[in-house]
Amino acid sequence: MSGNGFRFHHTFRDQNATAADTAPADTAALLSETESTDPLRIVLVAPPYFDIPPKAYGGTEAVVADLADSLTARGHRVTVLGAGNPRIAARFVPLWERTIPDRLGQPYPEVMHALKVRRAIADIADREGGIDLIHDHTFAGPLNVPAYRELGVPTVATVHGPIDEDLYPYYRELGHDVGLIAISDRQRELAPDLNWIGRVHNALRIHDWPFKREKGDYALFLGRFAPYKGAHLAIQAADRAGIRLVLAGKCDEPSEKAYFEEQVRPLLNENDEVFGEADAIAKRELLANARCLLFPIQWEEPFGMVMIEAMACGTPVVALRGGAVPEVIVDGVTGVICEDPAELPAAIERTADMDPAECRRHVAANFDIERFGSGYEQIFRGVVDGSMAVRSNVALRQILPETGERDEQIA
């Protein structure tokens, strides 16, 4: 205990990646396991850009919503800091008058949000007599750690995006003060010397996603219009496979519009349909009725929520190998993993013989919300109970040189 009554453990050790993977038999068993232990006082810090959960685009906000509800169901006292109109079981503290989707990617809202969060944390700690743990889902938020340390509160952060050459130094500089949680094994492999304390795959509530055995006559691309998401490759693959393509996704930023006009629109044929950005209802209908989801990524995708959303609806996924794809798809059973774009058309045809029920069973067994909540709870208890040592073993190694050696690891 620190002098002000807060439990504070500034040290972390790596939690075995499989330790967060044990799914309880059912919700009742899960709750009975946690009833004998004290509930944790947890603050989840969400970005200010979209509602929690989002009405359409907003993967991080969806994860925060599911985690808040899962932890609340497990008996913990959860407070979420964010913006917009929440639909969650946990207590919500709005820090902005409205969501600010038009400011996504700009530095000012990131910094301003971090300041608002710091003040809110101090207020909660003062009024309510304690916080056990802060779980940050924003980019700039972990910079508040020195202030939280003064309060005696440990901080962990889920890394929702890729760790590239620009972001690596940032997470490295956070050092042992922030325990990092990965959303895939591949994400950790690309930066093994960071202070990872665990891995928990993203998840969903399986019963919120409609299952359909009979599929429509189209393939679906669902995602942001950006070169690394591969919409142009999806069009070419569907055309060669002789199947209609429906494209749905976010396309409102200048870079997204430029990519669409220059690389997507010229490839469209008269059978293809540009749906636009799909809300939660339309998204489910599109996924459930599609013959397959096309996921021709051109980058190290940290997870790829849309893949498990598709499979939950009984829709197989055709993807290019990259990032977490091999962790999510069972090749030949719930989809096809291709090594080259030239393999995509044949892979689309193969999905006609795949069992939709097997796709859904795979998600229920491996990406269910109970498994997700259990994984985070184990990590949180390890942090709060002080059972995690100073750093992951790899993070204890000498800091890498700033250039050459690090570049070789990322390559």
Question: Is the domain 206-363 a CATH 3.40.50.20 member?
Answer: no
Summarised one tens digit per residue, pLDDT across range 155-196 is: 999 999 999 999 999 999 999 999 999 999 999 999 999 999
Overall average pLDDT of the 347-361 stretch:
98
Buried b (16+ CB within 10 A) or exposed e, 246-274: bbbbbbeeeebeebbeeebeebeeeebeb
pLDDT score for 400:
45
Q: How far apart are CA 68 and CA 247, in angstroms?
A: 31
DSSP code string of 194-211: S-EEEE----B-GGGS--
Fold equal for 39-202+378-383 and 206-363: yes
Tokens of residue 373, six digits: 């909540």
DSSP state of 227: G
pLDDT score for 404:
45
Overall average pLDDT of the 344-356 stretch:
98
DSSP code string of 19-73: GGG---SSHHHHHHHHHTSPPPEEEEE--SSS-SS-SSS-HHHHHHHHHHHHHHH
Summarised one tens digit per residue, pLDDT across range 277-319 is: 999 999 999 999 999 999 999 999 999 999 999 999 999 999 9
pLDDT score for 274:
95
Q: How far apart are CA 195 and CA 177, in angstroms?
A: 9
Domain boundaries, the chain: 39-202+378-383, 206-363
What value does the mean pLDDT of the chain take?
88
CATH T-level assignment (fold) for domain 39-202+378-383: Rossmann fold (3.40.50)
392: number of Cβ within 10 Å? 24
Half-sphere exposure of residue 221: CA atoms within 13 angstroms, side-chain side: 30
pTM: 0.84
Answer positive or negative: Cα dihedral of 375, 381, 387, 392.
Answer: positive
- The more confidently predicted of residues 56 and 239 is 239
pLDDT score for 253:
86
Assign 134 to helix, strand or coil.
Answer: strand
pLDDT score for 105:
84
Q: What angle do CA 262, 268, 274 make, to 5 degrees?
A: 95
Q: Does residue 4 carry a pLDDT above 60?
A: no
Q: Does residue 30 carry a pLDDT above 70?
A: no
